Chains A and B, each alone.
Chain A
Amino acid sequence: MPSLESAGGPIPESRILNPDSSFPSARPTATIGYEALLSRSREAGKALQPLRGLVAIAQPSLHGGRLFRFFGGNAVSEQNRVVMDSDEMRRAIVRIAHEIIEKNKGAERIVIVGIRRRGVPMAQRLADAVRQIENVDPPVGSLDIALYRDDLTLRQPIVGPTDIKFSIDGRVVVLADDVFFTGRTTRAALDALMDLGRPSAIQMAVLVDRGHRELPIRPDYVGKNVPTARTESIEVRIQPTDDEDVVYLVKDAGAPSEV
């Protein structure tokens, strides 16, 4: 068996996806690998060690606010200010629903697609509001944009389900998300939608616009504009994903979150 040193320098962990078995010389490298894979991908942050959290903060991400969670544990409890309570959220969603119907002259052609996690309950709420106002039931879908992100070389998001059981060709797609930050999530969602069909138009509805746009993309419907500093973050809690309906502004999320 040739010497390992001949490959030059320390050998990094080999990543063979070879399940543990009774094969005598098989080292359990795959198991170690997968633990690391799992920890890095777990957005809850509880499994991450602090060092990894720091590394994650310094790196771009589509959703600067989300990185704060990597810092370990329940960050929302420290120094946060409520910028929208559940009544304000409800009114904003109703108002956005009215705006959507007004701009599109009715609700017949629209479909509402929620972006990955918290955009999904947003989309459902908007659809409910539209139904109550216009008595029309717009189709609702969910979109996972993990595979379309522009920072895939730097992080590895968990891939979730994309559930759009209807055709989007020729329809007006209203994208829904909780927070609008740099615009990169929307850019990814646009690419994903274009791969799924040819909508006649795409519009964007968000609960909170926190500023710091980095692309020439802006939302069409905004619940509330909340100017934030780079070091701050907006944390949205929305049922049923969370237990409550509230929007927090979290100060001092650690190192400035560049995206």
Chain B
Amino acid sequence: MKAEEINFVLDTAAHFREILDRPIKKVPALRGKSVCTLFYEASTRTRTSFEIAAKTLSADTSSIAVGQSSVTKGESLKDTALTIKAMGVDIFVVRHHDSGAPHNVASWTGLPVINAGDGQHEHPTQGLLDMLTIRRHKRNLTGLKVAIVGDIKHSRVARSDMWGLTAMGAEVRLCGPKTLLPPVTQHWPAVVTTNLEEALDGADVVNVLRIQRERQDQGLFPSVREYHRQYGITPQRLKACKPDVIVMHPGPMNRGVEISPEVADAGYAVIEEQVTNGVAVRMALLYLVLGGEGAV
């Protein structure tokens, strides 16, 4: 996405944010539209966020819990998507373990699809809400120093953040242990390092990624305590950043592993605000994609 597009979406999201503060959190913009969330991977935040966003806009939602659907009988993604389309759904929100799956759903059904996370590829709505959160605190994204710390290799959040932030002119530093960094990153527009001090030095924003315990079983790091000692974000380590640094986390947090509880509960941690901004961003996207005739 280009900077202009990102700005447009973020501006729209900022206006939608105000609706969440009203006594009646409903506007009739998408009345009569039907949104289907199709999540092949577990999610609290993203799925609920999309549902609430759709409902606030007066759209109707249906949620496919894949574990209780015919997918367990072996139904393919394509058939699942076409079946739901045949019920009159207007837009899909898809999270899938395969990269590119949302794109396939769109080409099979001809309906708009919002990617809620595909494999290790991207999580664009998270990227957008991260940028909105940063913008609310830092005004301008250009020239900001953003450090993203954690399991970069498996993180679609890191990728979406990186592409979005660099498009907006920010300087992105990706940091993690060597085993959790992707092997090939030369073509990425970010600084990739295993040195935490270097990544945090003078940073305006620190985004802490979740450490997945499964990676420990795969032998990618020795123990959570070891990870915390080397890469955990603590108040001590944050001293290397700018004094007005903000700390973000896409959630869910492993307190004491990648982020210490003091940091998570501190005033400069904007983690809860991220969640609220997430609803606003998803409202903006649903409105922009569904509103208007034939739209795109």
**In the complex, chain B residues 15-33 whose Cβ is within 8 Å of any chain A Cβ:** 15-16, 18, 22-24, 26-30
Most interface-central of A13, A18, A146 (chain B CB within 10 A): A18
Do B107 and A195 touch across chains, with their CB atoms under 8 A apart? no
| Residues of chain B contacted by A109 (CB below 8 angstroms) | none
Q: Is the CB of A15 within 8 A of B124?
A: no
- Chain A residues near B127: list those with CB within 8 A: 19
**Please, how many angstroms separate the alpha-carbon atoms of A40 and B288 in the complex?**
11
Any A CB within 8 A of the CB of B217: no
Please give me the 8 A-B residue pairs with the lowest Cβ-Cβ distance, nearest first: A156-B292, A14-B106, A15-B112, A33-B296, A147-B29, A34-B5, A147-B27, A156-B291
Chain B residues within 8 Å of A27, by CB: 103
Which residues of chain A have a CB within 8 Å of any CB of chain B? 1-2, 4, 7, 11-23, 25-27, 29-38, 40-41, 144, 146-148, 152-156, 158-162, 191-192, 195-197
Since A18-B102, A34-B5 are in contact, a sample of 11 more A-B pairs with Cβ atoms closer than 8 Å, ordered by chain A residue number, is A4-B107, A11-B110, A13-B296, A17-B124, A18-B103, A20-B163, A38-B8, A147-B28, A147-B29, A195-B26, A195-B27
Interface size on B (CB < 8 Å)? 57
**Contact at A21–B293, with CB atoms within 8 Å?**
no
Q: Shortest Cβ distance from A210 into chain B, in angstroms?
A: 26
List 19 interface pairs A-B (beta carbons < 8 Å), by A numbering. Answer: A2-B108, A11-B110, A12-B110, A14-B103, A15-B296, A16-B106, A17-B285, A19-B164, A21-B163, A23-B121, A34-B8, A38-B8, A41-B292, A147-B27, A147-B28, A152-B30, A154-B293, A159-B284, A161-B15
A21 touches B122 (CB 8 A): yes
Smallest Cβ-Cβ distance to B116: which chain A residue? A17
Chain B contact residues, CB within 8 Å of chain A? 1-2, 4-5, 8, 12, 14-16, 18, 22-24, 26-30, 57, 78, 99-100, 102-104, 106-110, 112-115, 118, 121-122, 124-125, 127, 159-160, 163-164, 167, 187-188, 284-285, 287-289, 291-293, 295-296
Task: Give bound CA distance, A18 to B219, whole Å.
Answer: 32
Q: Which residues of B contact A1 (CB under 8 A)?
A: 104
Q: For B1, give the chain A residue with the smallest CB separation.
A: A19
Q: Are A36 and B115 within 8 A (Cβ)? A: no
Q: A90 to B295, alpha carbons, bound, how many Å?
A: 41
Which of A4, A31, A146, A197 is the most central at the interface, judged by chain B CB atoms within 10 Å of its CB? A146
When distances are taken between beta carbons in the complex, the residues of chain B under 8 Å from A23 are 99-100, 121-122
Q: Given A16-B115, A19-B124, A19-B164, A162 and B293 touching (CB < 8 A)?
A: no
B121 near A7 (CB under 8 angstroms)?
A: no
Distance between Cα atoms of A195 and B18 in the complex (Å): 13
Q: Does B289 contact A7, Cβ atoms closer than 8 Å? A: no
Judge whether B296 and A22 touch: CB under 8 Å.
no
Bound: A31/B1 CA distance, A: 6
A188 nearest in chain B by CB position: B28
